[in-house]
Chains A and B, each alone.
Chain A
């Protein structure tokens, strides 16, 4: 059942019965039946006559002797002209709704005209053929001009009409976008692209085929490409894409530019994901019989749009380089990479080749900038020279910064690998480049625990290792700012542990550094631990030695008192000094405490147990300041940064 759309055009009410519908038998109106029948059969007859004439003219060999021209030519011309007039005056509604019988007849008539004109053109000009030829030629030209406008109008009006959005969404999945998620459908509803109903597309397809077969391909393609270019542009504007001059891009503050980049990324992703595929589908539907034409039309559009998008990416690549920009740059790189398959699917070979090259060139520029930014990390590390050490031997801000940066960067590991690989190839091919990176590598390979243990030797991983090396060197020189060797080891332990934990905590960084590196680093941290222990606590042990206290089998009281005094003093001093030191890693903290306890407590306990009795009973408290449990408690309180009170505790 057809919907009878009610329109009023130029004051005419068009919902009155239209005289030319034949597809539904129940739709005929008795009072005009005869007229319809007569008109219909007249048309059929005339069409046959025209076809016959065309055939006759085409098959005549001797073109100098043309046959007589029948009246049907003039009649046919008038019919076609009157239909055009009716369309132009609005008597026949042509925009929405299905192809009517009138539309179909018209299209066929124009095709016939074109064939007939062709046949006539074979004949040299003569008194008999020329006037008729001119007549047909003019009618054909008028028809083509009309169709051209029709085509343009269908392309432009339907794109502005929200009504058709619904049509396409409800009726038609074949136009849709293969890459759309179910979850994205809500969004596609509001910005359907291209939003033409199936009927409109069919009409456009008919018009295009007719124009092309009549030799009016250029006009047809012009209308299409101009209209689609404008439509695409409007769609980009809807996505808030604005053309910014390169000059202005480079003058922007980073915060503003970051926002523009995000917007640009959204636009490019939409192009890759839905706009280009949609455009390709539309072209294929309208120029269904002419794949070369629709390929070339799409290529031209894609080229124009992509070059415009690349302008921005290239401007961004020229922006002043600084560390925080890396990640946005990498986002741009990845977005551009994703654009390539969208082009490859749809363009002609030559265009695809050209565009892929352009996109790759833009990616290279971004890549080079990214390399430069990343390598700038090295300079940041080198220039971070401290005059005073971090209090309490804590993890240095530089360590945190570098490790977090590396962690974040390694999330883009695949992209960075590609970029650095490209960069390395580029460096190799430049005859006069000062090969900075390779000489640095040679230097760094002297460093024992980084370069050799790293498993993968890709340009990127070498870069990461270089950074790691520089950090180690930097930390080492910072550690020398501590006069107290114990604190120095705590510092090295803290930072080393932090680095290790960060690496282990990130899959990508771990992949770069490798398990061997992790094991080695663990060993190194343990070594610092042992060194600390030796520096601090083993000097307290001599006073707990059982040797030297007995002279001739008797305990020397004064030596014993001295020993206790030394122990308490030393311990107090250690505690006082080290109570503000921090070990942020909890596990390391407890490991330290456990190992200290295991060294000190048994020795103290055994010493106290063995020799306490030899002290004068009234004076025990004076010398035995701490019970073993007290020592234990105090040790447990170390390394969380809170100085505990030194109050005496009695058991």
Chain B
């Protein structure tokens, strides 16, 4: 029982809306099965394809200002959950069918991919936590400078310190150690050894996944062996494995997009995306993929730890603030070594 919009009754319109392989199969099957039953399941499956396509078109309709912002990412996740819910409904009604070959293998594969996706989500959580740490530094800067009253030199200094901490926090772990040493000298710290230990952990992205975990490898494994079903396979499963394939691809894309947007351990975007345009959702999904990939290649975003627009905003803001603060002259004789 499809929970999506109501379908048009005429079968002629199906071939324009639906997935062409399914339509082909329907003609073959008509003679074998009771037409009423075959159509009901087919309606459901085609509705699912239509849903996925519609949602992805919505996502792809965002302009470049909206793409990869936090609201857009949230929309991406909502789309994913919505599609997954539909998928769940479809699958749930066919529980008995799923235990037998060949569906059992496809479902098993999907399950394994989902678990890998869960690990990605756990890693992303760490990235979000890291962004929250940056937010704290921004709070300090705001607290120091966003004042109706006079701002003393000390508060400027405080903001500067927070900016440096922020910049270090946004760096790669390897680059941060030298940066830390500079920072400590300018802020008069006595024990550099200690600082490195605590700062390193502070930025650790290994709270939720093991130290050796790699987002790039995980995505690779998630997308491994993902091939569109062949016509004979489709017939053997009454089109159900097409739904599974679609769901798997959506999962892969969403996970990839999350890794692209949010900092995570060993972030890599090389996952290969190629899917036949016969699938209605292929066009918007591949277009989004291309746009995100392009973003990652831009000069000022190549080394970003995450492609979220907000992260870029923070970087730009920090740079701007830094210049602003450095340009402030103080007339009073300052004590050195402060």
| Residues in A lying within 8 Å of B, measured CB to CB | 81, 88, 117, 120-125, 130-131, 133-142, 144-145, 149, 152-153, 156-157, 215-216, 218-219, 222, 226-227, 229-230, 233, 242-248, 250, 304, 307-308, 311, 314-315, 318, 432, 434
Task: Contact check, A226 vs B201: say whether CB atoms are below 8 A apart.
Answer: yes
Task: Contact check, B338 vs A131: say whether CB atoms are below 8 A apart.
Answer: no
| Chain B residues whose C-beta falls within 8 Å of the C-beta of A130 in the assembled complex | 150, 331-332
| Chain A residues whose C-beta falls within 8 Å of the C-beta of B187 in the assembled complex | 145
CA–CA, A227 to B194, complex, Å? Answer: 12
Task: Contact check, B194 vs A153: say whether CB atoms are below 8 A apart.
Answer: yes
Minimum CB–CB distance from B190 to chain A (whole Å) comes to: 5
Task: Contact check, B194 vs A246: say whether CB atoms are below 8 A apart.
Answer: no
Q: A226-B201, A311-B122 are in contact. Are A140 and B139 (CB under 8 A)?
A: no
Task: Contact check, B119 vs A246: say whether CB atoms are below 8 A apart.
Answer: yes
Task: Contact check, B119 vs A81: say whether CB atoms are below 8 A apart.
Answer: no
The yes or no answer to B335 lying at the interface (CB within 8 A) is: yes
CA–CA, A307 to B208, complex, Å? Answer: 9
Interface window among B44-52, B53-61, B62-70, B155-163: B155-163
Task: Contact check, B118 vs A134: say whether CB atoms are below 8 A apart.
Answer: no
Task: Contact check, A156 vs B207: say whether CB atoms are below 8 A apart.
Answer: no
The yes or no answer to B277 lying at the interface (CB within 8 A) is: no
Task: Contact check, A245 vs B209: say whether CB atoms are below 8 A apart.
Answer: yes
Q: Contact partner of B202 among A81, A137, A215, A226, CB < 8 A?
A: A226
Q: Contact partner of A88 among B133, B152, B158, B190, CB < 8 A?
A: B190
Interface positions of B from 163 to 213, Cβ below 8 Å from A: 187-191, 194, 197-198, 201-202, 206-210, 213
| Chain B residues whose C-beta falls within 8 Å of the C-beta of A135 in the assembled complex | 153, 332
Q: A81-B335, A145-B188, A230-B201 are in contact. Are A308 and B152 (CB under 8 A)?
A: no
Minimum CB–CB distance from A319 to chain B (whole Å) comes to: 11
CA–CA, A140 to B144, complex, Å? Answer: 13
Report the nearest A residue to B132, measured CB to CB: A300
Q: List 23 A-B contacts (CB under 8 A).
A: A122-B149, A125-B150, A133-B150, A140-B154, A141-B153, A141-B154, A141-B338, A145-B161, A149-B189, A152-B198, A156-B197, A218-B143, A227-B198, A243-B207, A243-B210, A245-B209, A246-B118, A246-B122, A247-B112, A247-B119, A250-B115, A304-B129, A308-B207
Q: Contact partner of A304 among B158, B161, B207, B331, CB < 8 A?
A: B207
**Nearest 5 CB-CB pairs, A to B?**
A137-B152, A137-B154, A141-B154, A134-B153, A121-B149
| Chain A residues whose C-beta falls within 8 Å of the C-beta of B154 in the assembled complex | 117, 134, 136-142
Q: Contact partner of A245 among B119, B133, B197, B207, CB < 8 A?
A: B119
The yes or no answer to B293 lying at the interface (CB within 8 A) is: no
Interface positions of B from 111 to 142, Cβ below 8 Å from A: 112, 115-116, 118-119, 122, 125, 129, 133, 136, 139-140
Task: Contact check, A308 vs B118: say whether CB atoms are below 8 A apart.
Answer: no
Minimum CB–CB distance from A75 to chain B (whole Å) comes to: 14
A-B pair number, CB within 8 angstroms? 129
| Residues in B lying within 8 Å of A, measured CB to CB | 1, 89, 92-93, 95, 112, 115-116, 118-119, 122, 125, 129, 133, 136, 139-140, 143, 147, 149-155, 157-158, 161, 187-191, 194, 197-198, 201-202, 206-210, 213, 218, 330-332, 334-335, 338
Q: Contact partner of B198 among A145, A230, A245, A314, CB < 8 A?
A: A230
Task: Contact check, B140 vs A219: say whether CB atoms are below 8 A apart.
Answer: yes
Task: Contact check, A218 vs B332: say whether CB atoms are below 8 A apart.
Answer: no
| Chain B residues whose C-beta falls within 8 Å of the C-beta of A218 in the assembled complex | 136, 139-140, 143
Given A141-B158, A250-B112, output 17 extra A-B contacts at Cβ < 8 Å.
A121-B149, A130-B332, A133-B150, A134-B152, A134-B153, A138-B335, A138-B338, A141-B154, A142-B338, A145-B188, A152-B194, A215-B143, A227-B198, A233-B201, A244-B210, A248-B210, A432-B93
CA–CA, A149 to B161, complex, Å? Answer: 13
Q: Contact partner of A134 among B92, B125, B194, B332, CB < 8 A?
A: B332
Q: A138-B334, A145-B188 are in contact. Are A226 and B207 (CB under 8 A)?
A: no
Report the nearest B residue to A227, measured CB to CB: B198
CA–CA, A94 to B157, complex, Å? Answer: 25
| Chain A residues whose C-beta falls within 8 Å of the C-beta of B335 in the assembled complex | 81, 138
CA–CA, A311 to B118, complex, Å? Answer: 9
CA–CA, A226 to B165, complex, Å? Answer: 14
Task: Contact check, B209 vs A307: say whether CB atoms are below 8 A apart.
Answer: no
Minimum CB–CB distance from A377 to chain B (whole Å) comes to: 18
Minimum CB–CB distance from B329 to chain A (whole Å) comes to: 11
| Chain A residues whose C-beta falls within 8 Å of the C-beta of B201 in the assembled complex | 226, 229-230, 233
Minimum CB–CB distance from B108 to chain A (whole Å) comes to: 11
Report the nearest B residue to A87, measured CB to CB: B190
Q: Which one of A138, A152, A222 has the greatest number of beta carbons of chain B within 10 Å?
A: A138
Q: Contact partner of B157 among A141, A153, A230, CB < 8 A?
A: A141
Task: Contact check, B115 vs A138: say whether CB atoms are below 8 A apart.
Answer: no
CA–CA, A156 to B194, complex, Å? Answer: 9
CA–CA, A645 to B133, complex, Å? Answer: 88
Minimum CB–CB distance from B2 to chain A (whole Å) comes to: 12
Q: Contact partner of B208 among A134, A136, A311, CB < 8 A?
A: A311
Task: Contact check, A138 vs B157: say whether CB atoms are below 8 A apart.
Answer: yes
| Chain A residues whose C-beta falls within 8 Å of the C-beta of B208 in the assembled complex | 243, 307-308, 311
| Chain B residues whose C-beta falls within 8 Å of the C-beta of A318 in the assembled complex | 115
| Chain B residues whose C-beta falls within 8 Å of the C-beta of A117 in the assembled complex | 152, 154
| Chain A residues whose C-beta falls within 8 Å of the C-beta of B157 in the assembled complex | 138, 141
Report the nearest A residue to B222, measured CB to CB: A247
Report the nearest B residue to A77, measured CB to CB: B335
Report the nearest A residue to B96, measured CB to CB: A434
Task: Contact check, B139 vs A133: say whether CB atoms are below 8 A apart.
Answer: no
Report the nearest B residue to A434, measured CB to CB: B95
CA–CA, A134 to B332, complex, Å? Answer: 8
Task: Contact check, B140 vs A131: say whether CB atoms are below 8 A apart.
Answer: no
CA–CA, A216 to B133, complex, Å? Answer: 16
| Chain B residues whose C-beta falls within 8 Å of the C-beta of A121 in the assembled complex | 147, 149-152
CA–CA, A144 to B152, complex, Å? Answer: 14
| Chain B residues whose C-beta falls within 8 Å of the C-beta of A308 in the assembled complex | 207-208
| Chain B residues whose C-beta falls within 8 Å of the C-beta of A229 in the assembled complex | 201
Report the nearest A residue to B125, measured CB to CB: A307
| Chain A residues whose C-beta falls within 8 Å of the C-beta of B191 in the assembled complex | 153
CA–CA, A140 to B158, complex, Å? Answer: 10
| Chain B residues whose C-beta falls within 8 Å of the C-beta of A120 in the assembled complex | 150, 152
Task: Contact check, B210 vs A245: say whether CB atoms are below 8 A apart.
Answer: yes
Report the nearest A residue to B138, measured CB to CB: A218
Q: Which one of A131, A137, A244 has the greatest number of beta carbons of chain B within 10 Å?
A: A137
CA–CA, A243 to B210, complex, Å? Answer: 6
Minimum CB–CB distance from A261 to chain B (whole Å) comes to: 18
| Chain A residues whose C-beta falls within 8 Å of the C-beta of B338 in the assembled complex | 138, 141-142
CA–CA, A135 to B332, complex, Å? Answer: 8
CA–CA, A227 to B89, complex, Å? Answer: 46
Report the nearest B residue to A149, measured CB to CB: B189
Q: A219-B140, A230-B201, A245-B119 are in contact. Are A141 and B155 (CB under 8 A)?
A: yes
| Chain B residues whose C-beta falls within 8 Å of the C-beta of A315 in the assembled complex | 115
Minimum CB–CB distance from B60 to chain A (whole Å) comes to: 30
Q: Which one of B161, B190, B191 has the greatest number of beta carbons of chain A within 10 Å?
A: B190
CA–CA, A138 to B139, complex, Å? Answer: 20
Task: Contact check, A137 vs B155: say whether CB atoms are below 8 A apart.
Answer: yes
Task: Contact check, A123 vs B150: say whether CB atoms are below 8 A apart.
Answer: yes
Report the nearest B residue to A217, measured CB to CB: B143
| Chain A residues whose C-beta falls within 8 Å of the C-beta of B210 in the assembled complex | 242-245, 248
